[in-house]
Amino acid sequence: MTTREKPQRRQPTQERRANVFRGKTTGRQKSNANDDYNYGQEQDKLERGQGQRRKPGGNKVTRKIEPNGESGRSWFHPWHFFRICWSSSSHVAQWTNVLWPFTIAAMVLHFGYHDLHMWIFITAYIGMVPAANLVGFAGQELARKIPKVLGVILETAFGSIVEIILFMVLITGGNQNVPVIQAAILGSILANMLLCLGACFFVGGINWPHQTFDEAISEVGSNLMLVAGLGLIIPTVYYNSLQGRPAYIDPTRLEFETKRISYAAAIVLLVAFLMYLWFQIRSHHSLFEDILEADEERDHDGHIDRAKPKLTLFESIVALIITLTFVTFMAIILVQQIHYIVLEHNVSDHFMGLILVPVVEKVSEHLTAVDEAYDNQMNFALAHILGSSIQTALLNTPLVVLVGWGLGTNMSMNFELFDAVVLILAIIVVGNFLRDEKSDYLEGALCVFVYILIAVTAYYYPNPIHVQEEIAHLAAEAAGGGRH
């Protein structure tokens, strides 16, 4: 019986390189050593900023572009551009593209049929969905071309651009839109932390018994969100503590000082947001980078996503410009119809701001986060959800308060007491769910149920006195016209 000869162990790379120069190699060993030597030279060139990197598939990777974001093309190709934009980031997001006719219809109705307020509002509301989704997709394509942590922050920022545009359009409409903005601010955070997070837990929990996430993502995000929530409601607590007590302060002075406190709080929150960015991008960048890289390895179909055609850098910028134009138009059309919908169809002003507006403005972020949870990438999903909530609290809200200050409006952080209490309770509930660093579908369903209860309450929440008086006046005019 003969024994099979053991194959010779391949020499370590450095030893083979040394043997080449000493002439102690066979032809095959010399070839392998030369290959390793050439590879080492290429890596040295890359470290010096020279040469061309390559993706696993063999495509060249442009300098300063991350391999996962490399398209293999340059500049603009119309067919590839529309085909890739239509495919979107997931199957769910792709189906939103069939709603683009509503976007066009909203613009046609707005410029040609001014009196159809209800239809204009409905088409603009639905038409906002594909436009916001494409903003999120273009931001995602651009984010893939830069380092992961910075990419997630940039992607979250582009997702919040829809919200910023809505807030700015609303605040330029004057004091009548201030209650809607105030409700939309807290409603945006509630939609993220209850509806979106609940959907992520539920969808992910269907495919995986338990999903885990890193404490650096959950603890930092939930703690910062709790502090941001407290910062938001301090002016509300101040106002409601002294309201109805003229012995301490008269109502006019109370409102004036509440606005001054709001301006101070806005500046403090902006500084906190800059520190948050520095924490993620600079001082603790490597920690978050390692967590997100480990999360990418969980994605069982990640290789399919990485193999998808991608937009070039120039195409990503073009897509952002086009979609932001559509989003701006939809926001303007939508905002102009809110007053008519509240007055003519008796929709609660509070329900409009707390529920309807936040849901449509956050649709792109919600679809992205749910898709990541489906792929078991809970750290990415939490980074988007908590990052978006933090940005709303620490950046978007201070911006609209300071812009309102400059425009001379009554914009402040004096929210409805109901909204403020619900916000803090929601942050505490979500923080408890995140504490054990794992989730399941039951926790997701509970979060969604809580959001539904808030939505039902907001639907029956009464309008401000001046809105009720205006509704009554319109009803009296309609009744008088009917008698004539």
Residue 143 identity: A
Burial class (CB in 10 A: 0-12, 13-18, 19+), 228: buried
Angstrom distance (rounded) from CA 298 to CA 294: 7
Angstrom distance (rounded) from CA 331 to CA 53: 43
pTM above 0.85, yes or no: no
3-state secondary structure at position 52: coil
Whether the CA torsion 99, 101, 102, 104 is positive or negative: it is positive
- Compare 107 and 78 and report the one with higher pLDDT: 107
Question: How does pLDDT run across 217-242, given as a tens digit for each residue?
Answer: 777 788 888 888 999 999 999 998 88
pLDDT of residue 10: 43
- Under DSSP, the state recorded for 68 is G
Q: Residues 49-66: what's their mean pLDDT?
A: 49
Residue where the block lists tokens 């338990």: 210
Angstrom distance (rounded) from CA 160 to CA 344: 30
Angstrom distance (rounded) from CA 352 to CA 422: 17
Q: Across all residues in the chain, what is the average pLDDT?
A: 76
Question: How does pLDDT run across 196-222, given as a tens digit for each residue?
Answer: 999 999 988 888 888 888 877 777 788
Superfamily of domain 78-483: NCX, central ion-binding region (1.20.1420.30)
Angstrom distance (rounded) from CA 128 to CA 162: 9
What are the C-alpha distances in Å from 78 to residues 34, 83, 244, 319? Answer: 43, 8, 63, 11
Angstrom distance (rounded) from CA 211 to CA 320: 33
Question: How does pLDDT run across 117-131, given as a tens digit for each residue?
Answer: 889 999 998 988 888
Helix or strand holding residue 61 (H, E): strand 60-61
Helix or strand holding residue 212 (H, E): strand 211-212
Residue where the block lists tokens 């809105």: 467
Q: Residues 451-462: what's their mean pLDDT?
A: 90
Confidence check: pLDDT of 267 > 90: yes
Please give the share of the chain, as a percent, with pLDDT higher than 70: 71
Question: How does pLDDT run across 313-360, given as a tens digit for each residue?
Answer: 788 888 888 888 888 888 888 888 888 887 777 788 788 888 888 888
Q: How far is CA 384 from the centre of its chain?
A: 6
pLDDT of residue 330: 86
Tokens at residue 467, please? 């809105």
Domain residue spans of the chain: 78-483
pLDDT of residue 478: 59
pLDDT of residue 135: 80
Whether the CA torsion 469, 470, 475, 476 is positive or negative: it is positive
